Amino acid sequence: MNKLIKKIIIGLSAVLIVVSLMEYNILFAGSGEVVERVSDGDTLVLRGADNQKFTVRLACVDAPEIPHTNKEKNSRRVRDINQFNWGVKAQIRVQELVKQSGDRVKLDIIESDRYGRKLAEVRLKNGTFIQQVLLEEGLAKVYRPYLSKCPSKDIIQQAEAQAQQQKLGVWNDRKFVDPWEYRKFRKAN
């Protein structure tokens, strides 16, 4: 009798554990915001719980630009080619990270910008901080004008310093122009 009761208790416990894990995965899979697309290395388009799309700009960082027009895509200017090559690498890296997280991210919204985008620190389901990854890999730079508003500014600055010291990504490219300088130059021409 005792052996039968033990077997029943062990069996029920196993079933409870499996059901609990399944429910946890179902609940967790639904958490976070759904990423519709990665616009570039520092901008995401998400779909909220109300099924409305909204744009999120990765706070505190600036990734290289990507080409938006055919003219830009066909540009032969070294400055454009260099910027766009790094921009596409940053975009692809963010796409990889988002895909690893089941196309869901968690936002810590700081504010909205003048374009109506939400500025946010963005993390994957496992807690990976997207801005930190981009900075550590040299695929973005700290955007200092907004740094004081970033809750994780110490992590962000440390990640950039690490990449700069190791000469990773854009830090190893003498031709690279900071994205904000590139945009300023592009507007002037």
Residue 1 is predicted with a pLDDT of 57
Separation CA 35–CA 43 (nearest Å): 11
Among 49, 44, 20, which residue's Cα sits nearest to residue 32? 49
Residue 49 is predicted with a pLDDT of 87
Helix or strand (DSSP H, E) at 3: helix 2-29
Residue 34 is predicted with a pLDDT of 97
CA atoms within 13 A on the CB side of 47: 7
Q: Inter-axis angle of helices 78-100 and 179-188, to 10 degrees?
A: 130
For each of the chain's 189 residues, which pLDDT tens digit applies? 566 666 555 655 545 454 444 443 334 445 789 999 999 999 999 998 899 999 999 999 999 999 988 988 999 998 889 999 999 999 999 999 999 999 999 999 999 999 999 999 999 999 999 999 999 999 999 999 989 999 999 999 999 999 999 999 999 999 999 999 999 988 776
- The two structure tokens encoding residue 46: 């998400």
Residue 187 is predicted with a pLDDT of 78
Entry field: residues in the chain: 189
Please state the pTM of the whole predicted model.
0.81
- Sequence-distant (6+) residues with CB within 8 A of 63 are 40, 41, 42, 87, 90, 91, 134, 139, 140, 179
Residue 28 is predicted with a pLDDT of 40
Residue 155 is predicted with a pLDDT of 98
Among 131, 128, 148, 149, which residue's Cα sits nearest to residue 140? 131
Residue 5 is predicted with a pLDDT of 63
Residue 23 is predicted with a pLDDT of 40
